[in-house]
Amino acid sequence: MQQRYNAIIIGFGKGGKTLAAYLADQGQSVAIVERSDKMYGGTCINIACIPTKTLVYEAHKSLCRGERSFEEKAADYRRAIARKNEVTGFLRGKNYAMLADRDNVDVITGTASFVSPHEVEVKTADKTLLLSGERIFINTGGETVIPPIEGVRENPRVYTSTTMLELEDLPRRLIILGGGYIALEFASFYAEFGSRVTILERGSRFLAREDADVADSVRKALENKGVTIITGASASAVRDAGDEAEVRFILDGTEQALPADAILLATGRRPLTAGLNLEAAGVKTTEQGAIAVDERLQTSVPHIWALGDVKGGPQFTYISLDDFRIVRDALYGEGKRVASDRDPAYTVFMDPPLGRVGLTEQAARDKNLDIKVAVLPAAAIPRARLMGETTGMLKAVVDAKTGTILGCALHCADAGEMINVVETAIRAGKGYTFLRDMIYTHPSMTEALNDLLSKIK
């Protein structure tokens, strides 16, 4: 027997859960399907932003306690994992109740797959349901890419960013395969907890997406924490070596090996579409495996939409939230919001964090733009001095003719807050002098924008 709904939402992520609540407020009957009771609220709350940032915070507190034994640091780490579990458990329960307590929302825990364009089969722990929906929204998120390296799938000391968060014993030696933003966050907080961390980056350049001076600033900050960064290193195998693992990699044509107590795969994420049986619904995917959508996030089937990581593009929680706004506007607004009308800032929450928005200096030069560049060391900021957090740098790229802010990189304390100020000015169409001449509270990190942008002549 079919259960009929106005809307079926597959996945309990940021976009999906917010949409479910909104549609329920419009009087719609909604089914939201989530494959795991450990994922109510989505990736961010359970296995990404919130747990990792909790550990970043706890690691910084641990570091501030000064030199101690590894055992004492390991105890801090166990307490941090317990607190992470407490935080995520609270938020998961809150998110579940936010929808489950509504009369016109059914939260169904099970695995969903399309049977037809309007029908979804859901296999729960004890039965199989057939749901029919006038509209269907896919919000299944992403999954870790497992690289084709010998031994990674079989070795119990190999972790993804998801499973690593469940590790209760602090590894003395951690090897991270990959040098992207997930790798940097994990490297930073594990080093602060007391692990000896080695990053093996396959590319010849560290942080190739950033300007060389920004990448160098980040590299020095990590190396000052004891992190070893090896570029041009291609992992070839992971071997079991008794009470430890061994990572083999090729560097300059020579095979080398490093021992490890834990190995983290930070080799990227991809859209999670496996098992959805999209073909039965006629939903098309891109060459990269993402669900293909138009500017308003409709798929190749007009009554089916995709939100969040599953549709490709930037993998940020706030993008998923904005996806909800696009769908809401398409259904109940003027249909003016589109996916191309955004160039969001982002922050890598290492210590200190790296926030960036817009173009890098190199990208601007590659476009043959006439630019001016300003750079300010974090050590020049009074607030950074009084906090004792003088590591890093600030950088702005401005159009020489119009004064438009083209891009900004902030590698300093509070960068995650400051970069939002810069993005707001860019979105409002304000030139660099707007931020340069703004009156900020003192002493604050944000007032460094006065000094940074005063360097533009």
Q: Would you name the residues annotated as active-site residues?
A: 442
CA distances from 307 to 108, 287, 288 (A): 19, 18, 16
**For residues 371 and 211, is the Cβ–Cβ distance under 8 A?**
no
Instruction: Tell me if 201 is assigned to a ligand binding site.
Output: yes
Q: What are phi and psi of 19, to 5 degrees?
A: -65, -40
**For residues 334 and 347, is the Cβ–Cβ distance under 8 A?**
no
Instruction: Tell me if 355 is assigned to a ligand binding site.
Output: no
Distance CA 33, CA 35 (A): 7
Instruction: Tell me if 8 is assigned to a ligand binding site.
Output: no
Instruction: Tell me if 253 is assigned to a ligand binding site.
Output: no
Distance CA 4, CA 134 (A): 8
Q: Provide Rg for the chain, Cα atoms.
A: 23
Instruction: Tell me if 53 is assigned to a ligand binding site.
Output: yes
Instruction: Tell me if 336 is assigned to a ligand binding site.
Output: no
DSSP per position, 26-84: TT--EEEEES-TT-TT-HHHHHSHHHHHHHHHHHHHHHTT-S--HHHHHHHHHHHHHHH
Instruction: Tell me if 372 is assigned to a ligand binding site.
Output: no
Instruction: Tell me if 5 is assigned to a ligand binding site.
Output: no
Instruction: Tell me if 194 is assigned to a ligand binding site.
Output: no
Distance CA 64, CA 52 (A): 18
Distance CA 420, CA 415 (A): 9
**For residues 209 and 203, is the Cβ–Cβ distance under 8 A?**
no
Q: What are phi and psi of 303, to 5 degrees?
A: -95, 10
Instruction: Tell me if 184 is assigned to a ligand binding site.
Output: yes
Binding residues for NAD(+): 178-185, 201, 268
Binding residues for FAD: 53, 309
Binding residues: 53, 178-185, 201, 268, 309
